[in-house]
Amino acid sequence: MARLYLSPPDVSDADRAALVRAFDGGWIAPLGPEVDAFETELAAATGRVEAVALSSGTAALHLALIIAGVGQGDRVAVQDLTFAATANAVRYVGAEPVFVDSEPSSWNMDPDLLAEALADGERQGRPLRAVITVDLYGQACDYRRIVPLCDAHGVTLIEDAAEALGAGYAGRPAGSFGRFAALSFNGNKIITTSGGGALVTDDPGAASRARFLATQARDPAPHYQHSEIGYNYRLSNLLASLGRSQLGDLERRVERRRSHRAFYGEALGDLAGVEFMPEIEGGYSTFWLTALTIDPEVTGVSREEVRIHLESLDIEARPVWKPMHLQPVFADCVFVGSGVSARLFERGLCLPSGSNLTDADRERVAAEVRRALT
């Protein structure tokens, strides 16, 4: 039997045809009509005025921080439970991440602890310059509290929506919160361009500055003139064509991932000691990955034993992200919290959740999780 992956690329004949059409169109470059159209469509999908197509989600986070004016020695509150890319971008600009723990009710940044981190910074005469929240596994954060908090303290909010394209919260799309949001089109994300990302914002000046910085910061002159350091961060026109084709299929993709979460919930929800990632009130998650926790004191079996059992059958399951404050590279950073993210890491497991996962395959996954636990 073929290996079952956590979240493999889901591509179609229509995607292939779109890519070949773009190839034949002749714009084999990091600009062109497909990039322009993809940007318009991404802005619409996230309820934004502007989208800037980039080479990765990490590049989007990096540019958001630069444009927000975050630099050497500044402090940035970062959601502790995330993929390293979120925190790496803070280091790219020479700033220091301050990691904020999760709330148990959403697994996302705890607004009370964020308030504490903001107040601490002000008391110490080192106010935070920005906040990066993460819509973990496709679920929006508690923006009803986080947005006013950032506004009240005058800090820039950057939403890392890399896993959340197609999600919603309080009647708005994920990617619409904060001054900037970052999207990812990596091979394992909701839609893919093999590699790619976007920065979305309602500020046209910030968007044109992002395009400028992403194109080597070339001054408007007939010769090559540069007054600032730039980057080579634009998305290829060929890949934008793939992104447009994938974006046209967004709704089905999200519905399919959501149906996996519902299926796993039905199939495993009765097991004592097994709990699924809770859903935030007013939220519509992509369920990029279905995540659950296993309490070894109740089940008598650890998360690792379950994962290893699945691995022995060529089923890829992964622990929940290892929190940033426990990463060797960030060991010297401030952490505000009480250990919620660490417990989620110890007990948390992500199950195969791709939008091309079949009914038969997910039934097999659920049956093997149950076997490992009973």
Ligand X SMILES: *Cc1c(COP(=O)(O)O)cnc(C)c1O
Candidates 56-64, 235-243, 262-270, 326-334; binding stretch for ligand X (CB under 6 A): 56-64
Nearer to ligand X, 143 or 299 (CB): 143
Binding of ligand X by 57 (CB under 6 A)? yes
**Binding test (CB under 6 A) with ligand X, winner from 78, 134, 324, 366:** 134
d(CA 281, CA 373): 30
Residue found under tokens 């309080």: 170
CB of 267 to ligand X, least distance (A): 26
Count CA within 13 A, CB hemisphere, residue 335.
18
Nearer to ligand X, 10 or 368 (CB): 10
Binding of ligand X by 10 (CB under 6 A)? no
Binding of ligand X by 63 (CB under 6 A)? no
Nearer to ligand X, 7 or 245 (CB): 7
Binding of ligand X by 83 (CB under 6 A)? yes
Q: Classify residue 131 by its DSSP letter.
A: E
Binding of ligand X by 186 (CB under 6 A)? yes
Contact assessment for residue 287 and residue 331, using Cβ atoms and an 8 Å cutoff: no
77 SS3 class = strand
Which of these, 365, 273, 276, lies nearest to 316 by C-alpha position?
365
Contact assessment for residue 295 and residue 317, using Cβ atoms and an 8 Å cutoff: no
CA distance from start to end of the chain: 24
Contact assessment for residue 169 and residue 284, using Cβ atoms and an 8 Å cutoff: yes
Candidates 83-91, 203-211, 331-339, 352-360; binding stretch for ligand X (CB under 6 A): 83-91
Binding of ligand X by 192 (CB under 6 A)? no
Candidates 77-85, 107-115, 117-125, 171-179; binding stretch for ligand X (CB under 6 A): 77-85
**Binding test (CB under 6 A) with ligand X, winner from 102, 106, 133, 184:** 184
Find the binding residues for ligand X in span 140-169 (CB under 6 A). 160, 162-163
Altogether, the residues listed in the chain come to a count of 374
107 SS3 class = coil
Binding of ligand X by 65 (CB under 6 A)? no
Nearer to ligand X, 57 or 166 (CB): 57
Q: Residue 300: how many CB atoms within 10 A of its CB?
A: 11
Adjacent-strand bridge partners of 133: 159
Question: Can you give the binding site for ligand X, defined by CB under 6 A?
Answer: 56-58, 82-83, 85-86, 134, 160, 162-163, 184, 186, 197
